[in-house]
Chains A and B, each alone.
Chain A
Amino acid sequence: MIEAKGVCLEYPDGTRALKNIELSVKPGELVYITGPSGSGKTSLLKLFMGAEYPTAGSLRVLGQHICRGQASRIGNLRRMIGPVFQDFRLIKGRTALENVMLGMRFLDIPSGCIRENAGNALKKVGLEQKMLSLVEHLSWGECQRVAIARAVAREPVLIIADEPTGNLDKNNALNILELLKSFRDTNRAIIITTHATHLIESEKDAGLILMDNGTMSRERVGVLG
């Protein structure tokens, strides 16, 4: 699903965000990326989503070569990914259901299935009763769940969640991680960045990547079945 060889990322101001990243993520794998702030976790996710391009090395995500010349194909890549953004990026003035449906409107999903998929996804995250609530009337945790529902309703082959446990207490953070893990299957990989190392220590079937000052070290590989 993801193949990175010697990937580097340097921002125009000269900041070297990533150095010589070597990584392979396979279908069915759950990977936690952890490390201190500024270690390069979010930069790595940006590369995976085609929001940045490697300044050196080679990166393939879902068969798509990520480089500046391929910018026009990035849209196709992003349509196969289910992103959960750190700040949720929900559209204000719209209901939870509308937000989830919006993530599917431009995919090749039959129009009749869009509402059904969105409703099912919201049921899975426990927001059956809040489907028609405006997102600005939902709590932090509920918004987090809407963002997850929006990502999974798209039936993506890769789920990328950026700091989904940030600002949550331990119990809620565990619930969110459990929820994300529930969408793991043999054809789908999940990548989650988190500060909360204490929450993932016990997860022996999950991959673990430690980031530090733009470099990475792979601690564990965790593939289903």
Chain B
Amino acid sequence: MKNILFNTGYFIKETKTIIRMNLLSNILSFLSIGLIFFILAMMISGWWISNQVVLAIQEEAEISIYFSDDLDAAGADRLVKEIKNIEGVYEARLISEEEAYSRMEKILGKEAHVLEYLDENPFSSFIEAKIQIEDIGLILKKLDLIAGIEHVRDNREVLERILGISQTIKMLGYLIITAAGISTTVIISHIIRTGIYDCREQINTLRLMGAPEAFISIPFMLEGLLLTLGGGVLSSALAAYTLKYLYTKAAGPIAFIPFPPLEALASNLVMLIMLLSAALGAVGVLFGLSSARS
């Protein structure tokens, strides 16, 4: 250990020499690793964003409960209280005919004038309930048992589709993480084996002079770690720039999607990619050294 610390300068110099010996190969490996981590970063950010969107939509999950016209105001209030008591419902509110009309005006926007052609307000009052999405089945069953309710409109299909997309992205994410891990390990192992092969004379000489394996291996380990960490830095910079660009582009047309804050997303992503690159670099180095030794 003492020798290793004393020789830090030598190891750095040796690492530079090893990199210079296979400069083109090292540059190509660095770019490949950077590209692999960039794809991984994009996949992970897609995954995080979709999870965030699903969570936000789940929090906003609501159902509309329509009741019989015969029910007077007191009856409607009683119904609201009953619905609030159902497990999984955390808010229930009576929406009057007027509010339903004004909501439709907002939705139609410039086309709202079509409502003026109608002689009377076509919308009926209803109860809007915010619910825990995972309890929707139970809630619908309990609503069935309450007298006075005519029908319930839920957005279950939409929510289930979004959940499906999120699951697919998650699966793809796992696949890409696995593929990136294997590719990085293979590239690093290969570059280390090539480095060791090119330096075999020097390594044999050092062994004959009694140099410990750790002393011989350190410059090759540093080479592998530098390549992966360098690839990590490159991909982080590219990913941060791409996310910023995409956020700017998405601000207009899909502003209604609740994206997570860019700064938090980018800093978490950079941290994860750097940790992953260090870990995969270490695995690649160990594979490369053990396969070269055997």
Give residues in A with beta carbon < 8 Å to B. 49, 51, 74-81, 83, 85, 89, 91, 93, 102-103, 105-108, 111, 154
By the criterion CB–CB under 8 Å, are A78 and B6 in contact? no
Nearest-neighbor residue (CB-CB) of A99 within chain B: B205
Shortest distance from the beta carbon of A71 to any chain B beta carbon, whole Å:
12
Among A80, A106, A111, contact of B211 (Cβ-Cβ < 8 Å): A106
Residues of B within 8 Å of A, CB-based: how many? 17
B264 to chain A, nearest CB (A): 46
Please tell me which one of the listed residues B7, B205, B210 contacts residue A91 in the complex, with CB atoms under 8 A apart: B205
Flag if A105 contacts B10 (CB, 8 Å).
yes
* Chain B 106-156 residues near chain A, CB threshold 8 A: none
Within 8 A of A (CB), among B202-216: 202, 204-212, 215
List the 8 closest A-B pairs by CB distance, nearest first.
A78-B210, A79-B210, A111-B6, A89-B205, A106-B215, A106-B211, A75-B210, A91-B202
Q: How many Å lie between the Cα of A102 and that of B211 in the bound state?
A: 10
Binary contact track B180-223/A, C-beta < 8 Å → 1, others 0: 00000000000000000000011011111111100100000000
- A33 CA to B3 CA in the complex, in Å? 36
Task: Report if B17 contacts A (CB, 8 A).
Answer: yes
> Which of A76, A83, A93, A108 is B209 in contact with, Cβ under 8 Å?
A83
* A75-B210, A79-B209, A89-B205 given; 11 more Cβ-contact pairs under 8 Å: A51-B208, A74-B210, A78-B209, A89-B201, A89-B208, A102-B10, A105-B3, A105-B211, A105-B215, A106-B206, A106-B210
Which residues of the other chain, B, contact A89 by a CB distance below 8 angstroms? 201, 204-205, 208
Q: Which of B17, B204, B206 has the largest count of A CB atoms less than 10 A from its CB?
A: B206
Measured in the bound complex, the distance between the Cα atoms of B209 and A83 in whole Å is: 7
